[in-house]
Structure 1
């Protein structure tokens, strides 16, 4: 719950020392207290002719009251004016929230691939892909052009029963479009596949444990079955059927 930060002060009437009587939700400390003392020094000796109660006014909100939630929104609008927010940030109800967070970061190009780290001044030995070493590591390369990614996507398409083998660009991925139609089940499998591509990248980079296509396909099949079957109540998933023809459950999720 957002807490209102209330700043109010008044001058005690007819007080020759012109003392302030402050009302704080939290007493100021550290740098805030130092700035407050400097402000008091600046106002020392200042007289109010009308004798009315004085208060702080925050001009960025109609109520003239400071709210942290309003300030956060203003900062986001100022700092991130060109952010691509067209991709839905809501998670798929068929998968854990952590999967949706990762995929959103991928589509916004906010994952720590080596090119992005290099832009931010992180000192690295190389910006090449740690999995295939064929090109520099960007988000598009990691999830689309890396040999491991191309292999797993090809296997996933075949498992679904599609004659497609690859995506043309990063923007085509993770949206659930298959054969010209939208499928929540296929989108869930796409997201799980993206999760395992990123997981394989991290295992390769940090633990020197590189996976392979058959192993990755098996992991996607197991985890997608585990997550989706537990969240769909209106039908019963059979493991054997899931391995043979996952698209047969498309109309039941």
Structure 2
């Protein structure tokens, strides 16, 4: 593989004298016309450049440290795409969940899910913009994931399962923010949030099955899938630290997450 010494290339092309830098070019034929004007502009720029004896390097101006990180770029994209919303700077990650669930929530919060209201805004001709499940209101992201009577029934079952009867899920902010009706430790908050995100993902999945495959909407089977999927995701993430007892997870997840992590679910 050919290796190029960048320092040598720069040093050969730039000559420094009395604090000023000048271009030291090598041409097959002298430049003329527009190319000559561009060369003169380049020489003017180079004259103000001061080279150091340090190796060439890349510097990211997005971060004060000068180091590029994916987190910095993510924050920039969220800020540009989501504007001044209180939650727009970033959507907190949850390491207990697979990437596809996080991406789904991220898209939903940006109003990028293909719900009928958003499709209609983009000029797509639809027979109806009403919710395909309840057919009572316009299908927005908040509606299909929380306000729809079918979705609300799923949330009721999930909240009953977690003993959170006094918690309200009516929009995506309620899903992202930990608005639990009882105090949980950091470990418990992560698991409760993971359960809520998986619930949204599962509701959207079955919404699509209903729309495109005419699958019957069954709250009991959806709740069972939410319990299984959340158990599977959380178990895989925690497998090196502890195991979750399936029967306890089904009956009383708040009890499971109430104790400190090192005391929970060993079995």
In the superposition, the TM-score normalised over structure 1's length comes to: 0.69
Supply the distance in 2 between the matched residues of 1:155 and 1:103 (Cα, whole angstroms).
21
Supply the distance in 2 between the matched residues of 1:187 and 1:77 (Cα, whole angstroms).
20
8 Å contact kept, 2:131–2:138: yes
Counterpart of 1:26 in structure 2 is none
Deviation at 1:99, TM superposition (A): 0.7
Counterpart of 2:17 in structure 1 is none
Supply the distance in 2 between the matched residues of 1:246 and 1:49 (Cα, whole angstroms).
72
Counterpart of 2:83 in structure 1 is 82
1:43 matched to 2:34? The reply is: yes
Counterpart of 2:247 in structure 1 is 240
Counterpart of 1:126 in structure 2 is 128
Give secondary structure in 1 for the equivalent of 2:207: helix
Counterpart of 2:119 in structure 1 is 117
8 Å contact kept, 1:203–1:209: yes
Deviation at 1:188, TM superposition (A): 0.9
Supply the distance in 2 between the matched residues of 1:142 and 1:215 (Cα, whole angstroms).
18
8 Å contact kept, 1:148–1:212: no
1:188 matched to 2:194? The reply is: yes
Aligned-residue Cα RMSD (Å) equals 3.9
Supply the distance in 1 between the matched residues of 2:61 and 2:112 (Cα, whole angstroms).
23
8 Å contact kept, 1:193–1:220: yes
Deviation at 1:159, TM superposition (A): 0.7
8 Å contact kept, 2:109–2:172: yes
Counterpart of 1:176 in structure 2 is 178
Structure-to-structure mapping, 1:147-158, within 5 angstroms: 147-158=149-160
Structure-to-structure mapping, 1:8-157, within 5 angstroms: 18-19=30-31, 43=34, 52=43, 80=81, 82-84=83-85, 86=87, 88-157=90-159
Deviation at 1:110, TM superposition (A): 2.3
8 Å contact kept, 2:82–2:110: no
Supply the distance in 2 between the matched residues of 1:216 and 1:99 (Cα, whole angstroms).
16
Supply the distance in 2 between the matched residues of 1:196 and 1:153 (Cα, whole angstroms).
11
Give secondary structure in 1 for the equivalent of 2:176: coil
Give secondary structure in 1 for the equivalent of 2:160: helix
Supply the distance in 2 between the matched residues of 1:124 and 1:211 (Cα, whole angstroms).
22
8 Å contact kept, 2:147–2:170: no
Give secondary structure in 2 for the equivalent of 1:177: coil
